[in-house]
Amino acid sequence: MSAVIATGLGTTWWHYVVLFAAVAASWAGVPFIGATVAGAAGIAASQGELDLAAVIIVATAAGEVGGLIGYDIGFRWGRELLDRPGKHQARRQNLMAEGERAYAKWGGLAVFLTPAIVSGTAKMRHTRFAFWNLIASFGFAVSVTASAYGIGKLATGHHTAHDILVLFVGLAAGALIMIVFFRHHRRVRAERERNEPETNERP
């Protein structure tokens, strides 16, 4: 298997460079680009243009590196960015407040739910963030690329039981992440609605 991955990397190395850069940028704070490129890489793997194992490894490594960059930005300059006046200041402060509530409730699992810059701003311990961010990166890589791979195989009509299993694993990983996210979102919204009457009653 390692020989196959090495061959794929040797002939299409620039695809993996683009994948790494896009996913790292996304985990550092640039929205959407990472999932889009990772999905495209998964489809390319389904057509034999890339190796799925290599795609997952590269996307996981990129998520870890990008997350650490975002964490470092938040750790160094997060409070300055948070307090900077502007039309998005309230949104940034709300995001930080939600992140802190997530850490209090979920601990390390909150890394799945909040941007890396929030973890840095909240001064989450570096080693703890690195560990949970690696797990989150792997979950992201598997859910997006494996799902795209399976869908690509099904779309061509040339699929095996193994391809169906890959699709199932990808969808299951994505479903688990989404369940955790929506449970957190509902809890945050419920807490906000409970706090609003108290705020309105104050003179």
23 in Cβ contact with 64 (< 8 Å): no
Question: pTM for the whole thing?
Answer: 0.74
Determine if residue 115 is left, alpha or beta; phi over 0 gives left, psi from -120 to 50 gives alpha, anything else beta.
beta
**Count of CA atoms in the C-beta half-sphere (13 A) of 121:** 22
Residue 18 structure tokens: 């683009």
> What's the burial of 74, exposed, middle or buried (CB within 10 Å: 0-12/13-18/19+)?
buried
Could you tell me the residue range of the domain that residue 108 belongs to?
2-201
For the chain (length 203 residues), average pLDDT per consecutive 10? 46 87 93 91 92 94 96 83 64 66 68 82 87 92 91 78 73 70 61 54 47
pLDDT at 184: 55
Residue found under tokens 């896009």: 22
CA dist., res. 124 & res. 61, Å (int): 20
pLDDT at 68: 96
pLDDT at 102: 67
Structural domain tally of the chain?
1
Task: Report CA Rg, the chain.
Answer: 19
